Structure 1
Amino acid sequence: MPQPAKRSRISVGDTTITYLPDGFGAHNPDTLFPGVDWTTRPGDLTDGQFVLTFGSFLVQAGGQRILVDLAAGKIDVDVPGVAHLKGGALLRNLAAEGLSAADIDTVVYTHLHLDHVGWTSDVAPLPGTPAAHAPSGLTFARARHLMSQAEWQYWTTRDADLGGPDAEAVLKPLTGVVEFVASGDTIAPGVTVEATPGHTPGHLAVVVRDPAGAGTEEVWIVGDIVHSTAQIADPALTFASDVAPDQARQVRDRVLGRPDTVIAAGHFTDQVFGRVTQAGDARTWTPAGAPSTSR
């Protein structure tokens, strides 16, 4: 049965990418992927629930330390009819790599759904519930905080829905601090961002290449382009919170079809790093990556 992913690492030249788990969600599968007959897909569920891992990717490139996404934060809550959500392990897993919050130079948000922003400040609001008190500051106070301008505008010009960022715990602390990046921008040696809208209007992927140019393989940290290996076998599966499902499908097909690419998918169970191979119309996921041990 699928289980939450553990800490693991891959390398691209001298650059390392480490997955730092924060927690997991045990979801109602009919809520995540409406209209699917799960009796025909028993291997995708754990005790009748659809498990998604929550976590961040630590990219160490050219002396810089970058976190891609900030997971769910310190939460342990039932959302009736939706999921049981539990987080809180990110800083412990960062410490196991010999690092603290003060060592992070840059935070990059693929997008601002609540399970990607939970460690923005010292308050992790529960889904659908306003923050109980004002945060005292950013968790990664010494870091630049980057996202696309389209993502920021989308969430700051509308009322947040159930999955959106809390105004007090996320948006307010970032106001005046957030910096905008555009598709193709370089944020560290060999590390760029690419526009991948569909799940949200300003969704980004983070692409890691060998800065020395010794190889052609790339690592794409895909955020919520894809949530589960079930979408690799069946790319028509539509995630419930995709803002533009057709666009999300097009982006998913484009990214999963790239040659010489390792996919880093932070919601996957068991192993978040892997390669997608295609034979005819069939796509197959092959896990990659090694367990990470503290230094």
Structure 2
Amino acid sequence: MIEWSGALGTVDVLFPSVPGDLWRQHESWLEPDFLNAATGEWQTNAQTWVLRSAGRTVLIDTGLGSEEPREAGVLEERGGDFLDRLAQAGVRAQDVDLVINTHLHSDHVGWNTRLADGEWVPTFPNAQYLISRADFDFWNPVNGHTPASVFQSADDIRAAFNHRILPIHQAGQAVLWEGDSHRIDEDLVLELAPGHTPGSAVLRLESGTDRALFVGDLVHTPLQLIEPDHEICTSEDQVRAARSRRRVLEQAAATNSLVVPAHLGGAGAAEVTQSDGTFSIRGWAALADA
């Protein structure tokens, strides 16, 4: 379900290691869904995925949220109809059993909570929230880490944790998973893919013959599907992020798994292949929006 869609920053700033001629070389298929070639702006979505697994309703990330001031003013253009649209798709807040935060950047945890009588409370009252311990500890302001992000101030980072994560933990609804992986059920497994943040994770789905990897912010532009060594500037450890991406793409190609990034516009998922260490996009899968 797409919460917001539009242009957000220029690719020369967001992806500083990508030479301009590489964007120009691929702009014929990157435009218009992934790149505004005229302005050089990155085209992106903020979105949430809904799964049904083992009789449970699962949300993957919770978008931007509402009622939170942001320095990136363009994001204020979004509407506040997220929960209404979710209900129209057949999912009421009380129906959600599990929320998976692939990582704790503010654009992935926004609807974890909502304001009720001046207090931040869990939006999904009956859900467990799966959060990596590594990210919980890293973003917790009491631990004094200094993130690398150039798009969020210290105040924004503190507010995101205190308003969107801490109330979940205090309500006893947070499950802080640790280690390299966390099995959810027989079809779903969370796997650590650090770099963008210390606790960034990929959700692996294997059900019958269906295979998918919900990769969160491991991929921001489809250019990274064929040039995986280039990283966005907001990652905490760019070398480690690129290493994680290459490993996950190798897994996707070997298992014929659909790659589903968090922010891609247009077609929401891609099939990738690998030959002699080089990746290519075999096809796109357009996923229905609620």
The Cα shift of 1:169 comes to 1.5
**CA contact 2:2–2:289 (8 Å) conserved in 1:** no
TM-score w.r.t. the length of structure 1 is 0.79
2:240 maps to what in 1? 247
The Cα shift of 1:204 comes to 1.2
2:144 maps to what in 1? 158
The Cα shift of 1:160 comes to 6.9
Q: What SS does the corresponding residue of 1:23 show, helix, strand or coil?
A: strand
Q: What SS does the corresponding residue of 2:270 show, helix, strand or coil?
A: strand
Q: In structure 2, which of residues 85, 92, 110 is the aligned counterpart of residue 93 of structure 1?
A: 85
Structure scoring higher RCO (CA < 8 A, sep ≥ 6) equals: 1
The Cα shift of 1:69 comes to 0.7
Determine whether 1:41 maps to 2:38: no
Q: Distance in 1 between matches of 2:280 and 2:118?
A: 46
Superposed CA RMSD in Å reads 2.6
**CA contact 1:21–1:93 (8 Å) conserved in 2:** no
Determine whether 1:180 maps to 2:170: no
1:208 maps to what in 2? 205
Count of matched residue positions in the alignment of Structure 1 and Structure 2: 259
Higher share in helix: 2
1:10 maps to what in 2? none
Q: Which amino acid aligns with 2:247?
A: R
**CA contact 2:139–2:161 (8 Å) conserved in 1:** no
Note closer, same or farther for the CA distance 1:78–1:255 as it changes in structure 2 (3 Å cut): same
Q: Which amino acid aligns with 2:194?
A: P
TM-score w.r.t. the length of structure 2 is 0.80
Q: Distance in 1 between matches of 2:68 and 2:16?
A: 25
Gaps (5+ residues) in structure 2? none
Q: Which amino acid aligns with 2:65?
A: G
1:21 maps to what in 2? 2
1:137 maps to what in 2? 121
Percent identity between the aligned chains? 25
Moved more, 106-115 or 283-292: 283-292
CA deviation string 1:12-48 (max 9, x = no partner): xxxxxxxx11113522223311254446524242252
Note closer, same or farther for the CA distance 1:221–1:142 as it changes in structure 2 (3 Å cut): same
**CA contact 1:198–1:242 (8 Å) conserved in 2:** yes
1:128 maps to what in 2? none
Alignment of 1:93-132 (within 5 A): 93-122=85-114
Q: Distance in 1 between matches of 2:69 and 2:132?
A: 30
CA deviation string 1:45-66 (max 9, x = no partner): 2252111111111110121001
